[in-house]
Amino acid sequence: MKLLLTALLLAHTVQSIVDGTGFSRGACLKTINTARAAFADKFHVANMNALNYNKKLEPVILQQLSFVNGCPEPSIISHKNLDIYLNVQGQKDLIVELISNTDNTMLACVESHCDGKAIVSIVTDVTDTAPISGSPGSECPSGRSADSKGLCASPGSAGRRNFDVEIPTPIGPPIKVKVDWDLF
């Protein structure tokens, strides 16, 4: 019961992207990743992936919306290794499902309108990875490393904050340094 209550409190932080104010792709991604990081921290999930935005997934949501004339009931539809979360505002059970899946790597968000009301729908990819207990970011999948929030980020993703850079020098080999973008 305590797990569910805490998850519901974390889900409340996601409501800022689904209440019809301030919607943008960047805000959606940042809000979901922030909630996922908080979930990983609270429940000691060592392999929670940071999500990357994939604009190419937006038509998947639009197609599902077209089947219901743009006015879907709150639901999750699983189709071709994707989970489509339709009409998520006020639906804490859908949001908890979204932020607690460790294995997702990408998402897209679409704001649409139904009877004059803004609604938000989200799509994520799905793979079969079980959560691992431990410090956030301590058990990242191959090819991913922990970012500053404890999420497992892919190289070059917006979620990854530290990376190696080679600086050319006029004499000798390039200097290799680690850049921490949290400092900027």
| Residue 168 covered by a domain | no
pLDDT digits 0-9 by tens, 47-84 = 999 999 999 999 999 999 999 999 999 999 999 899 99
| Residue 164 covered by a domain | no
| Residue 173 covered by a domain | no
**Encoded tokens for 181:** 């973008």
Beta strands in the chain (DSSP E): 52-53, 75-79, 82-86, 106-114, 117-125, 145-146, 152-153, 162-167, 175-180
The one-letter amino acid code at 140 reads C
The one-letter amino acid code at 116 reads G
CATH of the domain at 61: 3.40.33.10
Q: How far is CA 152 from CA 39, 55, 96, 131, in A?
A: 13, 21, 19, 12
| Residue 182 covered by a domain | no
Q: How far is CA 156 from CA 36, 57, 144, 166, in A?
A: 19, 20, 10, 15
Average pLDDT of every residue of the chain: 80
pLDDT digits 0-9 by tens, 15-38 = 444 444 578 999 999 999 999 999
Q: Are 176 and 166 in contact (CB under 8 A)?
A: yes
pLDDT digits 0-9 by tens, 149-170 = 999 998 876 443 444 444 444 5
| Residue 162 covered by a domain | no
The one-letter amino acid code at 122 reads I
Structural domain range at position 127: 2-156
Instruction: Determine if the pTM surpasses 0.85.
Output: no
Q: How many domains does the chain have?
A: 1
| Residue 170 covered by a domain | no
Arithmetic mean of pLDDT, 128-153 = 93
In the prediction, which pLDDT does 10 show?
A: 42
Q: Which residue has the tokens 């499902």?
A: 97
